[in-house]
Amino acid sequence: MQTLRFLVTGGSQGIGSAIVELARAGGHQVVFTGRNESLIEKLAQKTGAHGLCADVSSGDDNARTVEACRQRMGGVDVLVNNAGYAYRAEIGDLDVEAMKKMFDTNVFGLVDITNRVVPLLKSQQRGDIVNIASTSGMKGGATGTPYGASKWAVRGISQCWQAELRPHGIRVTCVCPSEVQTNFGGKAGRNNPNKLHAGDIAATIMAALAMPRRVLWPELAVFANNPWKED
- Residues noted as catalytic: 147
- Cβ atoms of 77 and 170 within 8 Å: the answer is no
Distances in Å between the Cα of 16 and the Cα atoms of 56, 80, 94, 122 are 14, 8, 28, 25
Q: Which helix (H) or strand (E) covers residue 6, if one does?
A: strand 5-8
Q: How far is CA 220 from CA 103, 124, 175, 189, in A?
A: 22, 26, 5, 27
DSSP type of residue 34: E
Spatial neighbors of 42 by CB under 8 A, at least 6 apart, are: none
- 96, 80 contact by CB (below 8 A): no
For 182, other C-beta atoms within 10 Å of its C-beta total: 20
The sign of the CA dihedral 180, 184, 185, 187 is: positive
